[in-house]
Amino acid sequence: MNKKLNDLFSPKILTKRTIFMSFIVAATFISCSKNNEEIATEAQTTASNMENVIKGQLNGQEITYEKKDGMNFFQGDIVLTDQQLMEEGSSNKGGASFSRWPGGKIYYTIASNMGSINVNKINTAVSEYNSKTNTQWIPRTNQSNYVEFIFGSSSGADGWAHIGYQGGKQTVSLDQYISVGSVIHEMGHTVGLYHEHSRKDRDQYLSIQWNNIQDGQAYNFNIYNSGTDIGPFNINSVMMYWPNSYSKNGQPTIKRANNTTFTYNRTGFTTGDINTINTMYP
């Protein structure tokens, strides 16, 4: 769901961009890919979902995440492993060295049921990474450490991904109607980026509209300060939340710090996103 690409761990070192270097939720797992037209469905939060909301530790910081389908979802579309939630905070765990892909090489495969439209989106996104960043997404042959793009919902427009390098097989899930920009966003989590809105310095630039957020979903807007922010805050980052993410009433949940609204179009990389990734992977 930013530069923590911005944050490097798109937020924090994986960067805060929240980069996880080392850096859907409520009955609706409103992922980073949600746009204003999807707000209505995002507003459905049930008691049973709330029972799956858990507090834990990530890199020494207390966080709140959701347990769904046996996976740990942080901020809607970031999947954390049980190991990541058990690691103690240190510069080498959940930080720059832990979750970067060796040599910036990310081997990948695409599930056979993905469908040609989404395969084309993946190919476009891979081309963006390979031509503009120091990471290289390479079709897998027999590598044991790799990413598989899997098909999510046939009616949704969201996605989710494991954060940073884990080792072994990890996953990026893409729904039928996800945009190319949101494919790039989910791949950003894979390289180690968290969400831009959770950077340490975000309150200098953003005003969170807490009263407009769905009941029980406010934790998705908490600052993740256990990483390292890379470069300046970037409201247009491909890792930024939508202005109406998790809205319960159709009103903005995120505004500029001066309380004005902003228009956000997740079309692809900004210069700041590219610089963040290339700082992570020199």
Give the active site residues: 186
In sign, the C-alpha dihedral spanning 164, 11, 76, 95 is positive
Annotated ligand binding at 197? The verdict is no
Instruction: Output the DSSP codes for 211-245.
Output: GGBPTT-GGGGS---SS---SS--TT-TTPPPTTT
Annotated ligand binding at 185? The verdict is yes
- Dihedral, 117, 187, 140, 73 alpha carbons, nearest 10: -100
d(C-alpha 40, C-alpha 214), whole Å? 11
Pairing relationship of beta strands 6-11 and 13-20 according to DSSP bridges = antiparallel
Pairing relationship of beta strands 146-151 and 105-110 according to DSSP bridges = parallel
Residues in the chain: 282
Annotated ligand binding at 189? The verdict is yes
Per the annotation, binding residues for Zn(2+) are 185, 189, 195
